[in-house]
Structure 1
Amino acid sequence: MKTNLIVGAGTSLDHWSDSQRLAMLPEIQLSDLVPEGARAVIIAPHPDDEILGSGGLLQMIGASGRSLLLISVTDGTASHPGSTRWPAQQLGALRVQESEEALRRLGLALPEWQWLRAGFEDSQVATHEAAVAMFIEQQLRPGDVVFATWREDGHSDHDAVGRASSTAARAVGATLHELPIWTWHWARDDDARVPWARAHKINLSPSAMARKRYAASAFTSQLQEDPSTGSGPILPALALERLLRPYEIVFVQE
């Protein structure tokens, strides 16, 4: 069994802000990631991952007129176990609504055919990984450019979605790039487990950064304390700030 890497407060924001490694990462443009005529496919393990990992990229895709498909693998119903404020059934509907509002704040109003909710069980994606891979494969077509969570991100659902997306992309002839999200919690910039050689930086304009921050604030269920269980926010302020830097990192396909 893997060690749980998402414990404690995690790596300080100053560490990442002062990191020369991050400062020196090569920049990459949307046109290099998603060629003209290609479709971008964003695969999120939970509602909010599409914003936290790629809210800036989503804005660029929308502004470019490129075709886009968003897949939410789960509805995020396991984020508050035992909660009477956010019981699982109500939480699933709420988190979808939060994602809808976040996308609206980015300027994206996706019709049903452009945003697929797969309905797999939150926190159990690895158990159903083969079925997840098959579901994703059925949605992909050759030439797609897929963005999924990194397969070593440190959260079991994120890791499983990364592996399943890799399997599906290979099967259809799509390109897969990976997005680190929880990596910023447990890693440091000298961590050899992180594929720095594949890391590229997508720089965000101040306006894109502001819209991403505004979109992230839509996920109230993840940002507030839960008085019914005494638990703090799922995304405490430090975790959120680590994801709201003026760039996004993508591990490009080897």
Structure 2
Amino acid sequence: MSAPETDAPGGHAPSGHPLDLAAAASLDGDDGDRGFVVGEEDRGTPASTWQAWRPDLPELAFDDWRRVVVIAAHPDDDVLGVGGLLARLADRGTEVIGVQLTDGTAAYPDSPTLSPSELGRVRVAEARRAYARLGLAPPLRCELQDGRLGEHEDAIAERLRPLFRPGDRWLVPWRHDQHPDHEAAGRAAARVCTRSAGGELWEYPVWMWHWAHPTGSGLGWDSAYLHHLTPAQRDHKRRAACEFRSQLRPLSPHPADAPVVPPFAFERLVSPRELVFRG
């Protein structure tokens, strides 16, 4: 999970340089009026608030899923978003094809420790280890530019189109996640996997767990489904997610190397429940 952007191309957030989550930075949306800060100044909705939430939402049914394509904008989005579901699908023998659009090279734009290319190699290796822990084959890589996916939606759709087969279920980043790369990835995937073509689209949030609140309106709860994890399944997901050490631990004592996903953010993402929206 690279960091969001603000004013120029970068990693995880609306259009700009990647956000160092631990250092805190403002996040401005594509429409100019949405934004949030992630860090000690704004720790977002606490994990305890989400865990206390008892929504009347249906449980996701996936017994008839035979082939699943999971799209991620950055190397850890899919594991943090729906890693528990991916592990269960793999255990059931479902064909799961992972596709990661970028190598997450923009997560630490000012790092004195790792260059973008070095960081990319680290994150690709982390993703391979995480996928192995989930029982999955290594994800496919597109090596697109981190932070600029919104400029290449047509190209993304064309790259993804050959993967589509009627009857597919696609798990893609939520198109309202308030991160430009996530939203662009979701939009491009939605153009390929449509009901009219015989596909079924499901969208998973990542940043939503920070800026949203269980009592919030306008989030599309009427299209939301829950996936509950047993304690063993949650531990399985946590172990896979912990492979992303470059995002969870400081690269060095330098402020620019502070972790992208601090502990309070990580706990929201490895909760006992995963959530998806029907596209």
TM-score of the pair, normalised by structure 1: 0.90
Q: Matched residues in 2 for 1:228 and 1:85: separation? A: 10
Residue 201 of structure 1 contacts residue 249 of structure 1 at CA under 8 Å; is this kept in 2? yes
- Cα root mean square deviation, aligned: 1.6
Higher helix share: 1
Q: Does 1:242 align with 2:254?
A: no
Residue 82 of structure 1 contacts residue 229 of structure 1 at CA under 8 Å; is this kept in 2? no
| 1:213-232 alignment, distance < 5 Å | 213-227=238-252, 229-231=254-256, 232=258
SS of equivalent residue, structure 2 residue 261: coil
SS of equivalent residue, structure 1 residue 107: coil
Residue aligning to 1:17: 51
Q: Matched residues in 1 for 2:197 and 2:104: separation? A: 28
Q: Matched residues in 2 for 1:215 and 1:153: separation? A: 23
Q: Which letter maps to 1:25? A: L
Residue aligning to 1:90: 118
Change (3 A) 1:29 1:211: same
Q: Matched residues in 2 for 1:28 and 1:176: separation? A: 13
Q: Matched residues in 2 for 1:198 and 1:145: separation? A: 16
Q: Does 1:210 align with 2:235?
A: yes
Q: Which letter maps to 1:90? A: E
Structure 1 residue ranges (4+ consecutive) displaced by more than 6 angstroms after TM superposition: none
In structure 1, the gaps of 5 or more residues are none
Q: Matched residues in 1 for 2:127 and 2:109: separation? A: 20
Shift of 1:134: 1.4
TM-score of the pair, normalised by structure 2: 0.82
Q: Matched residues in 2 for 1:67 and 1:106: separation? A: 13
Shift of 1:84: 2.2
Residue aligning to 1:176: 201
Shift of 1:252: 1.8
SS of equivalent residue, structure 1 residue 137: helix
Shift of 1:206: 1.5
Residue aligning to 1:28: 60
Q: Which letter maps to 2:188? A: A
Residue 161 of structure 2 contacts residue 192 of structure 2 at CA under 8 Å; is this kept in 1? yes
In structure 2, the gaps of 5 or more residues are 1-29
SS of equivalent residue, structure 1 residue 119: strand
SS of equivalent residue, structure 2 residue 270: coil
Q: Percent sequence identity over matched residues?
A: 38
